[in-house]
A and B are shown apart, each in its own frame.
Chain A
Amino acid sequence: MMSRRPLLVFTLVLALIPNIPGMPPFWITLLDNIGLAALVAMGLVLLTGVGGLTSFGQAAFCGFGAYTTAYLTTVYQISPWLTLPIALGLAGIAAVVLGIVTVRLSGHFLPLGTIAWGISLYYAFGKIDALGRHDGISSVPPLAIGGWSLRDPAAMYYVIWAFVLLAGIATLNLLDSRVGRAIRALRGGRVAAEAFGIDSARIKLIVFVYAALLAALSGWLYAHLQRAVNPTPFGLNAGIEYLFMAVLGGSGQIWGAVAGSALVTLLKDVLQRVLPWMTGSTAQLETIVFGILLVVILQVARDGIWPLILSRLPGAPPRRIDDKAPALAARQRETRSDGPMLELAGATKAFGGLVAVNEVSFALKPGEIVALIGPNGAGKSTTFNLITGVLGLSRGSVRFAGHDISGVGQRAIAAHGIARTFQHVKLLPEMSVLENVALGAHMRGRAGVLSSILRLDRDEEVRLFAEASRQIARVGLAEHMHKPAGSLALGQQRIVEIARALCLDPTLLLLDEPAAGLRHFEKEALADLLRQLRAEGMSVLLVEHDMGFVMGLTDHIVVLDFGSKIAEGKPEEIRVHPAVLAAYLGGTA
Chain B
Amino acid sequence: MDLTILLFLLQDGMTSGAIYALLGVALVLVFAVTRVIFIPQGEFVTYGALTFAVLEAGQIPGTMWLLAGAGALAFLFELWTHRRELTARLLVHEATLKLALPAVVAGLTHVLVPMKAGPFVNLLLTIAIIGPLGPYLYRIAFQPNADASVLTLLITAVGVHLAMMGMGLILFGAEGLRAPPISNASFTLGPLPVSGQSIGVYLVTLGLILALWLFFDRTLMGKALRATAVNRIGARLVGIRTSLSGRIAFALAATIGAISGILIVPVTTIYYDTGFIVGLKGFVAAIIGGLASYPLTAAAAIVVGIVEALASFFASDLKEIIVFMLIIPVLVWRSIASGHHDEEEE
Contact = CB atoms under 8 A, between A and B. Distances in A.
Contacts of A101: 328, 331-332, 335
Interface in A260-309: 281, 283-288, 290-295, 298-299, 302
B88 interface: no
Nearest to B35: A108
B256 interface: no
Given A105-B331, A107-B151, A127-B317, A298 B156 contact: yes
Is chain B's binding surface mostly helix, strand, loop or mixed?
A: helix
Contact of B163 (A52, A287, A391): A287
A101 B327 CA distance: 10
Contact of A243 (B155, B170, B343): B155
Given A101-B335, A127-B317, A294-B156, A112 B287 contact: yes
A52 B343 CA distance: 14
B124 interface: no
Contacts of B318: 123, 127
A189 B341 CA distance: 12
B162 A287 contact: yes
Nearest to A292: B163
B193 interface: no
Contacts of B144: 299
A101 B343 CA distance: 19
Contacts of B320: 119-120, 123
Contacts of B150: 107-108
A105 B346 contact: no
Interface residues of A, number: 53
Contacts of A104: 335, 338
Interface string A490-533: 00000000000000000000000000000000000000000000
Contacts of B165: 287, 291
Given A115-B280, A291-B159, A291-B164, A54 B151 contact: yes
Contacts of A33: none
28 contacts: A101-B328, A101-B335, A105-B331, A109-B334, A112-B37, A112-B283, A112-B287, A113-B331, A119-B280, A119-B320, A120-B320, A120-B325, A189-B344, A283-B169, A283-B174, A284-B169, A285-B170, A287-B165, A287-B166, A288-B166, A290-B163, A291-B159, A291-B160, A291-B164, A291-B166, A292-B159, A298-B152, A298-B155
A107 B150 CA distance: 8
A580 B63 CA distance: 69
B331 A299 contact: no
Interface string A92-104: 0000000011101
Contacts of B346: 52, 187, 189
B204 interface: no
B145 A298 contact: yes
Contact of B152 (A53, A283, A302, A391): A302
A285 B332 CA distance: 39
Interface string A113-131: 1011101100110010000
Contacts of B149: 52
Contacts of A243: 155, 158
Contacts of B141: 295
Is chain A's binding surface mostly helix, strand, loop or mixed?
A: helix
**A113, A240, A291 interface centre (most CB from chain B within 10 Å):** A291
Contacts of B72: none
A295 B155 CA distance: 8
B178 interface: no
**B160, B287, B325, B344 interface centre (most CB from chain A within 10 Å):** B344
Interface string A220-255: 000000000000000001001001100100000000
A111 B341 CA distance: 19
A494 to B, nearest CB: 19
What range describes how many residues of B lie at the interface? 35 or more
A326 B338 CA distance: 42
Nearest to A111: B154
B339 to A, nearest CB: 7
Q: Which 9 A-B pairs have the closest CB atoms?
A: A291-B163, A291-B162, A294-B159, A288-B166, A287-B166, A116-B324, A295-B159, A120-B321, A101-B331
B161 interface: yes
A109 B343 contact: no
A575 interface: no
Contacts of B334: 105, 109
Interface string B112-138: 000000000000000000000000000
A54 B155 CA distance: 9
A54 B154 contact: yes
Contact of B331 (A102, A119, A127): A102
Interface in B306-342: 317-318, 320-321, 324-325, 327-328, 331-332, 334-335, 338-341
B29 to A, nearest CB: 16
Nearest to B163: A291
B155 A294 contact: yes
A492 B201 CA distance: 62
A295 B151 contact: no
B344 A190 contact: yes
